[in-house]
């Protein structure tokens, strides 16, 4: 169950000379996407490497096609009915098998909900601690470092002491992105042993050195735990930086985000800390308030990133496309070198327009929130069929967007969507030092989830997480990538085989239904065409 601990600290060897060699490639961003050339001198077009990425025109065409599909009346009612059927079918499954599931779980020695692996699939590093952690941290810092400059306002530094004097003591609006804080949270995680987190750290794309600074912070302070993987969140704040004259056009932002990653991949020794840090980064997140109005609809007439110099922000779909396109090129390159690749796991469908979920469907590995799928049957059915994971945070939703009782999580889960529970911002929403357990516990109470449901949620969280296949082999069993019952090892997951088999059979049935429908549709078209031809032929006679 426990993967072996690394023999050396993963950040120990920082010697650039011992890192993989410099490939000598050159990189240049063209129309918002990085291109790679076999020489540093990129004047010769012939030296460009073939690293394909999704074509812009195709993306827009597919997006429009999907937009038409999700508002098509007959398609909508078909999907709605399938989803209703999936709910009813699950109810039937529970009526028939609840006791059998429970019996299967009881037969497994040692394993219970407490000691199965869970991953908090959506949590922001800046608020990953709870209020008690933070309070303790601030009190300790006050004692130890009262003279430290912690805040700069209008060019003037303030010490921790002064901040507290000028502020009412009840407001703890300080930056807490400091070592001890995370160390404390990580220590708690390691102590609890079965809980893991995928923390979001920010890269803003305002300047070229952000990645190096972040990596230096992680490596210098050895901010690492085997219970933690990092996701990098990029806030969609181009309009703000543009207004402040920090960026001239959108391509500059993309270059700031991606150029250092390409450099560190081509020549790891040129960014040694970043090279090490990237081994623990599993992907990108895209964050901001989705309910902000969007001024622009992404289409073929939209300005290219280098020409995006307007005051307003590019739309969600635009951000996602350019992030994904660059990640695809980067991943080709990293895969060639045997380095870890990155996936896209944006915040999506928490609020705002429904088309965010269309872009999310087309480009994401999995998404966070997905609340609005409850209003979009076609998309919900597609997310089910494609088994795109959804990290849901009902406590966070409850304080921001949707009351707990109306949260669609239990409905999604019953239908077989890949749902996991996550905390989002423990500092705001949770009280204990085990916020993820709090999240599970409340969900179980409010929605009367069975022990089997809880273990299925936990298994989903591991499956959709960015932990390596090797680690997942230990947590879920060595066959977890296979299909159906065979993929499950109840001794590790505590999920009964009956449940896993039910999900698999149900999915096969849905896929069968659709392929069958396509086939009969094709046959009918052929028959129609045939009869038309015959009719025409007969007339000629
Ligand atoms: Zn979030």
CA 311–ligand 1 middle distance (angstroms): 26
Q: Is the pLDDT of residue 416 over 80?
A: yes
Q: Is the pLDDT of residue 142 over 80?
A: no
Contact 419, 457 (CB under 8 A): yes
Residue 538: the pLDDT is 45
Residue 176: the pLDDT is 47
∠ CA(296), CA(297), CA(302), 5° rounding?
85
Beta bridge partners of 201: 232
Confidence of residue 193 (pLDDT cuts 50, 70, 90): confident
Average pLDDT over residues 359-384: 98
CA 347–ligand 1 middle distance (angstroms): 7
Residue 330: the pLDDT is 98
- Residue with token string 């052929």: 526
Confidence of residue 535 (pLDDT cuts 50, 70, 90): very low
48 assigned to some structural domain: yes
Rounded to whole angstroms, how far apart are CA atoms 514 and 216? 51
Radius of gyration (C-alpha) of the chain in whole angstroms:
26
Confidence of residue 314 (pLDDT cuts 50, 70, 90): very high
Spell out the residues 6+ positions from residue 195 whose beta carbon is closer than 8 angstroms to its own: 118, 119, 120, 189, 227, 434, 436, 437
CA 232–ligand 1 middle distance (angstroms): 12
Q: How many domains does the chain have?
A: 2
Residue 526: the pLDDT is 67
Q: Which domain CATH number covers 149?
A: 4.10.800.20
Average pLDDT, the chain: 90
* % of the chain at pLDDT higher than 90: 73
* % of the chain at pLDDT higher than 70: 93
Closest CA to 117 of 523, 402, 375, 459: 459
Residues 169 and 239 occupy one common structural domain: no
Average pLDDT over residues 379-406: 96
User: CB atoms < 10 A from the CB of 178, how many?
Assistant: 14
Write down the H helix ranges in 267-354: 272-278, 316-336
Residue 53: the pLDDT is 97
Average pLDDT over residues 499-525: 91
CA 396–ligand 1 middle distance (angstroms): 8
Query: CA of 492: how far to CAs of 194, 413, 450, in Å?
Result: 12, 21, 18
Domain that holds residue 36: 16-105+119-129+179-526
10 assigned to some structural domain: no
Rounded to whole angstroms, how far apart are CA atoms 296 and 315? 6
474 assigned to some structural domain: yes
Residues 97 and 137 occupy one common structural domain: no
Burial per residue of 244-253, b for 16 or more beta-carbon CB atoms within 10 angstroms, e otherwise? eebbebbbbb
110 assigned to some structural domain: no
Phi first, then psi, for residue 177 (nearest 5°) are -75, 55
How is residue 10 written in tokens?
A: 């993963």
Rounded to whole angstroms, how far apart are CA atoms 419 and 460? 6
Residue 298: the pLDDT is 96
Residues 271 and 149 occupy one common structural domain: no
Residues 42 and 164 occupy one common structural domain: no
Residue 539: the pLDDT is 43
CA 540–ligand 1 middle distance (angstroms): 69
Residue 208: the pLDDT is 97
CA 422–ligand 1 middle distance (angstroms): 9
Contact 113, 494 (CB under 8 A): yes
11 assigned to some structural domain: no
538 assigned to some structural domain: no
Boundary-marking domain end, from 142, 159, 175: 175
5 assigned to some structural domain: no
480 annotated active-site: no
∠ CA(316), CA(321), CA(322), 5° rounding?
105
Residues 304 and 409 occupy one common structural domain: yes
CA 369–ligand 1 middle distance (angstroms): 8
Residue 517: the pLDDT is 87
Average pLDDT over residues 346-372: 97
Instruction: Check if the interface score ipTM surpasses 0.85.
Output: yes
CA 366–ligand 1 middle distance (angstroms): 14
Burial per residue of 305-343, b for 16 or more beta-carbon CB atoms within 10 angstroms, e otherwise? bbebeeeebbbbbbbbbbbbbbbbbbbbbbeeeebeebb
Confidence of residue 528 (pLDDT cuts 50, 70, 90): low
Q: Higher pLDDT residue, 194 or 414? A: 414
Q: Which residue among 93, 271, 355, 369 is the active-site one?
A: 369
Q: Is the pLDDT of residue 148 over 60?
A: yes
Residues 154 and 226 occupy one common structural domain: no
2 assigned to some structural domain: no
DSSP 2-39: PPPPPSS-TTS---GGGSPPP---EEEEETTEEEEESS
Residues 214 and 188 occupy one common structural domain: yes
What letter does residue 233 receive in the DSSP assignment? E
DSSP 127-151: G-S-HHHHHHHHHHHHHH-TTSEEE
Range ranked top by mean pLDDT from 14-23, 164-173, 174-183, 523-532 = 14-23
Residue 171: the pLDDT is 41
Question: Which pLDDT tens digit goes with each residue over 237-276?
Answer: 999 999 999 999 999 999 999 999 999 999 999 999 999 9
Residues 67 and 146 occupy one common structural domain: no
CA 49–ligand 1 middle distance (angstroms): 37
DSSP 449-483: --HHHHHHHHHHHHHHS---HHHHHHHH-TTTTSS
Q: Which domain CATH number covers 190?
A: 3.20.20.140
Rounded to whole angstroms, how far apart are CA atoms 375 and 388? 17
Q: Is the pLDDT of residue 332 over 50?
A: yes
Residue 541: strand, helix, or coil: coil
Residue 167: the pLDDT is 64
Question: Which pLDDT tens digit goes with each residue over 270-293?
Answer: 999 999 999 999 999 999 999 999
Closest CA to 412 of 403, 404, 422, 420: 420
Confidence of residue 532 (pLDDT cuts 50, 70, 90): low
Q: Is the pLDDT of residue 172 over 80?
A: no
CA 114–ligand 1 middle distance (angstroms): 25
Q: Is the pLDDT of residue 536 over 70?
A: no
Average pLDDT over residues 503-510: 98
Range ranked top by mean pLDDT from 166-180, 421-435, 515-529 = 421-435
Residues 96 and 123 occupy one common structural domain: yes
Rounded to whole angstroms, how far apart are CA atoms 438 and 521? 50
How is residue 263 written in tokens?
A: 């450099």
Q: Higher pLDDT residue, 150 or 303? A: 303
Closest CA to 320 of 296, 344, 343, 341: 344
Residues 142 and 290 occupy one common structural domain: no
Residue 299: the pLDDT is 95
- Per the rule left: phi > 0, alpha: psi between -120 and 50, beta: everything else, 348 is beta
Residues 520 and 405 occupy one common structural domain: yes
CA 392–ligand 1 middle distance (angstroms): 10
Residues 465 and 325 occupy one common structural domain: yes
């Amino acid at each position: 169950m426990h993967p072996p601990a690394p023999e050396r600290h993963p950040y120990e060897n920082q010697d650039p000379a011992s890192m993989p060699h410099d490939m000598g490639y050159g990189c240049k961003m063209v129309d918002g996407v990085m291109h790679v050339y076999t020489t540093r001198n990129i004047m010769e077009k012939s030296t460009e490497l073939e690293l394909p990425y999704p074509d812009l025109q195709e993306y827009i065409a597919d997006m429009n096609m999907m937009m038409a599909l999700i508002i098509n009346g007959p398609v909508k009612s078909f999907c709605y009915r399938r989803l209703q059927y999936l709910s009813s079918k699950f109810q039937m499954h529970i009526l028939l098998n609840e006791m059998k599931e429970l019996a299967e779980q009881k037969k497994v020695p040692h394993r219970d909900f407490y000691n199965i692996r869970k991953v908090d699939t959506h949590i922001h590093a800046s608020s990953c601690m709870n209020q008690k952690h933070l309070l303790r941290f601030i009190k300790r810092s006050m004692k130890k470092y009262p003279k430290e400059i912690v805040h700069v306002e209008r060019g003037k530094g303030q010490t921790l002491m002064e901040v507290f004097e000028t502020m009412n003591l009840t407001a703890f609006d300080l930056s807490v992105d400091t070592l001890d804080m995370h160390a404390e949270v990580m220590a708690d995680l390691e102590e609890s042993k079965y809980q893991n987190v995928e923390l979001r750290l920010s890269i803003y794309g305002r300047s070229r050195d952000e990645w190096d600074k972040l990596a230096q912070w992680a490596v210098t302070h050895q901010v690492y735990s085997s219970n933690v993987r990092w996701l990098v969140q990029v806030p969609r704040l181009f309009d703000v930086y543009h207004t402040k004259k920090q960026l001239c056009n959108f391509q500059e932002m993309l270059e700031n985000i991606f150029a250092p990653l390409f450099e560190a991949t081509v020549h790891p020794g040129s960014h040694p800390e970043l090279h090490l840090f990237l081994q623990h980064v599993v992907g990108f997140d895209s964050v901001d308030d989705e309910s902000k109005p969007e001024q622009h609809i992404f289409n073929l007439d939209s300005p290219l990133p280098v020409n995006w110099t307007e005051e307003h922000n590019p739309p969600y779909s635009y951000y996602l496309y350019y992030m994904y396109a660059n990640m695809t090129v980067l991943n080709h390159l990293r895969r060639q070198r045997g380095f870890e690749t990155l996936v896209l796991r944006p915040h999506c469908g928490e609020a705002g327009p429904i088309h965010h979920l269309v872009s999310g469907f087309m480009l994401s590995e999995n998404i966070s929130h997905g609340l609005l799928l409850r209003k979009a049957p076609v998309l919900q059915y597609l997310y089910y069929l494609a088994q795109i994971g959804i990290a849901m945070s009902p406590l966070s939703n409850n304080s921001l967007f949707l009351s707990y009782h109306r949260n669609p999580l239990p409905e999604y889960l019953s239908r077989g969507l890949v749902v996991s529970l996550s905390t989002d911002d423990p500092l705001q929403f949770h009280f204990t030092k085990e916020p993820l357990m709090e999240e599970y516990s409340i969900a179980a109470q409010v929605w009367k989830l069975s022990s089997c449901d809880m273990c299925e949620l936990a298994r989903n969280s591991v499956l959709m997480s960015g932990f390596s296949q090797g680690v997942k082999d230990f947590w879920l069993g060595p066959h977890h990538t296979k299909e159906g019952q065979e993929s499950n090892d109840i001794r590790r997951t505590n999920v009964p085989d009956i449940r896993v088999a039910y999900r698999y059979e149900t999915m096969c049935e849905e896929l069968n239904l659709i392929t069958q429908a396509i086939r009969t549709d094709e046959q009918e078209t052929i028959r129609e065409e045939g009869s038309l031809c015959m009719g025409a032929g007969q007339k000629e006679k």
